[in-house]
């Protein structure tokens, strides 16, 4: 089952005088499996926040449909099952941290002792218990983020949208937020994560989608996206004999990096096997063969650059 199903969603913003049109999202199709952590990546202005806002009916699509937890997004009662941490959120400055959670908890249908207990539990989770009675106008950016995560979880949602959850949070705080996300995943909750911090997305996400200028340019598991399909690193017991090495290098895209370590760029698995056969025929002892990977960040930058080049052509 998919927790989020986006079908042909487009969003065009038109200026007040109807002269300028900006395509924020273009014919987008994305599915988010229930119980997974889904990372949405993209440069500034890619349409990530717009997409989340459409899913939450904070803004409306120009065309296309979306379903959340098998229900239409325009049903506001669906939000009993959803949590959301917006980017640059503002809490009423006259309320304390505890009061903020009480306010949003009451709006989410909670009350009485169960709400009191939930507030204490969430403040404990985000390590904000000692600041419960302090007015939020005195909070730092990191504290606001932690409180924001707590309010997103106040109704024990099945699906949580987090827009830049680690924005302004120190490294220890980021680690704690990652732990919270892992805990949510263990509880079989679906997390829709929108972040600029690619290394973090890489660490917690099961699936990732990359948006650029409103278009989906890549989607898949982190493994699928970071794998360098035909590039392998080979470690041999000993260095190859000079003549053998030159012979192999003339037939294959094969090079020595350092003592005993070689890199091979092949066209497919068959060519890789041929190379292995050739090495074995020379009685080379192979210690390991590893498919090379790029980081999500490298892959992301390459993809965006490629997409921009295509757009400029």
Partner 1 sequence: MKNIFIISWYTLREAFARKVFIFFAAISLIFIIGLAIVFSLLNTDSIISGMNPSDNKMVLAEIITKIQLAITAPLSNLCLLLAIFSSSSFIPVMLEKGNIDLLLSKPISRTQLLYGKYLGGTLVVFLNIAFLIIGAWIIISLKFSYWNFNFPLVIFVITFTFAVLYSIVVLCGILFRSSVPGMMLAYFIFLILSPALIFIKLQLQTWSGKELLKGVVDGLYYIIPKTSELMGTINLNVGQGKFISDFQPVLSSFLFLILIMFFCDYLLKRKDF
DSSP SS3 for 90: coil
56 binds partner 1 (CB under 8 A): yes
What is the x/- site pattern for partner 1, positions 12-31, by CB under 8 A? -x------------------
Residue from 60, 269, 290, 295 in contact with partner 1 (CB under 8 A): 60
Binding partner 1 by CB under 8 A: which of 3, 30, 47, 53? 53
Phi, psi of 279 (to 5 degrees): -65, -45
- Which residue lies nearer to partner 1 by CB, 109 or 138? 109
Residue 9 CA: distances (Å) to CA of 48, 76, 211: 13, 19, 13
53 or 207, CB closer to partner 1? 53
Phi first, then psi: give them for residue 148, nearest 5 degrees. Answer: -60, -40
Q: Which is nearer to partner 1, 95 or 276 (CB)?
A: 95
Of 151, 195, 205, 226, which one interacts with partner 1 (CB under 8 A)?
Answer: 151
Out of 10, 31, 57, 263, which residue is the one contacting partner 1 (CB under 8 A)?
A: 57
Q: List binders of partner 1 among 71-130 (CB under 8 A).
A: 76-80, 82-84, 86, 88-95, 103-104, 106-109
The least CB distance from residue 105 to partner 1, in Å, is 10
At a CB cut-off of 8 Å and minimum separation 6, what does 234 contact? 261, 262, 263, 264, 279, 286, 288, 289
Q: Which CB atom, from 106 or from 287, has the smaller least distance to partner 1?
A: 106
CA-CA distance, 294 to 204, in Å (whole number)? 17
Instruction: Provide the 3-class DSSP secondary structure of residue 287.
Output: strand
Q: List Cα–Cα distances, 204 to 44, 81, 121, 260, in angstroms.
A: 21, 22, 23, 34
Does residue 223 belong to the site contacting partner 1 (CB under 8 A)?
Answer: no
CB atoms within 10 A of CB 292: 15
Nearer to partner 1, 48 or 53 (CB): 53
Residue with Cβ nearer partner 1 (16 or 312): 16
User: Contact between 145 and partner 1 (CB under 8 A)?
Assistant: no
Instruction: Give dist(CA 72, CA 75) in Å, integer.
Output: 6
Count of positions on this chain that bind partner 1 (CB under 8 A): 32
Instruction: Looking at residues 155 to 184 of the shown chain, list those that interact with partner 1 (rule: CB under 8 A).
Output: 161
**Of the two residues 99 and 235, which places its CB atom closer to partner 1 in the complex?**
99
Nearer to partner 1, 151 or 166 (CB): 151
- Binding window for partner 1 (CB under 8 A); candidates: 27-35, 50-58, 226-234, 281-289: 50-58
What is the nearest approach in angstroms of partner 1 to the Cβ of residue 163?
9
Whole-angstrom Cα distance, residue 173 to residue 184?
A: 16
- Quote the least distance from Cβ 20 to partner 1, whole Å: 15
Q: What is the dihedral of CA 66, 72, 75, 79, to 10 degrees?
A: -70
Angstrom distance (rounded) from CA 194 to CA 39: 6
CA distance 37 to 207: 7
Distance CA 292, CA 285 (A): 20
C-beta closer to partner 1: residue 89 or 185: 89
* Inter-axis angle of helices 112-125 and 141-152, nearest 10: 140
3-class DSSP assignment, residue 254? strand
Residue whose tokens read 């969003």: 11
Using CB under 8 A as the binding rule, whether residue 59 contacts partner 1 is answered as yes
> Contact residues for partner 1 (CB under 8 A)?
13, 53, 56-60, 76-80, 82-84, 86, 88-95, 103-104, 106-109, 151, 161
């Amino acid at each position: 089952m998919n927790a989020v199903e986006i079908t042909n969603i487009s969003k065009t913003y038109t200026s007040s005088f109807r002269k300028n049109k900006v395509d924020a999202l273009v014919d987008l199709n994305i599915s988010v499996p229930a119980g997974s952590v889904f990372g949405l990546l993209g440069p500034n202005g890619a349409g990530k926040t717009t997409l989340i806002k459409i899913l939450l009916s904070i803004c409306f699509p120009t065309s296309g449909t979306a379903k959340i937890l098998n229900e239409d997004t325009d049903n506001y009662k669906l939000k009993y099952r959803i949590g959301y941490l917006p980017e640059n959120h503002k809490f009423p400055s006259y309320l304390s941290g505890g009061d903020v959670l009480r306010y949003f908890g009451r709006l989410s249908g909670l009350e009485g002792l169960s709400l009191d207990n939930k507030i204490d539990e969430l403040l404990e989770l985000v390590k904000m218990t000692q600041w419960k009675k302090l007015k939020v106008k005195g909070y730092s950016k990191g504290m606001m983020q932690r409180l924001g995560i707590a309010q997103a979880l106040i109704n024990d949602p099945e699906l949580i949208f987090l827009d830049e959850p680690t924005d302004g949070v120190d490294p220890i705080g980021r680690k704690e937020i990652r732990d919270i996300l892992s805990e949510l995943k263990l509880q079989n909750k679906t997390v829709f994560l929108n972040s600029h911090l690619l290394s973090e997305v890489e660490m917690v996400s099961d699936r990732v989608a990359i948006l650029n200028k409103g278009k989906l340019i890549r989607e898949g598991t982190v493994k699928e996206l970071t794998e360098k399909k035909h590039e392998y690193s080979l470690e041999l017991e000993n260095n190859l004999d000079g003549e053998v090495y030159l012979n192999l290098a003339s037939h294959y895209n094969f090079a020595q990096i350092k003592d005993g370590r070689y890199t091979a760029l092949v066209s497919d698995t068959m060519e890789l096997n041929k190379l292995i056969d050739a090495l074995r025929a020379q009685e080379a002892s192979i210690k390991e063969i590893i498919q090379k990977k790029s980081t999500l960040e490298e892959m992301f930058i390459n993809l965006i650059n490629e997409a921009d080049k295509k757009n400029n052509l």
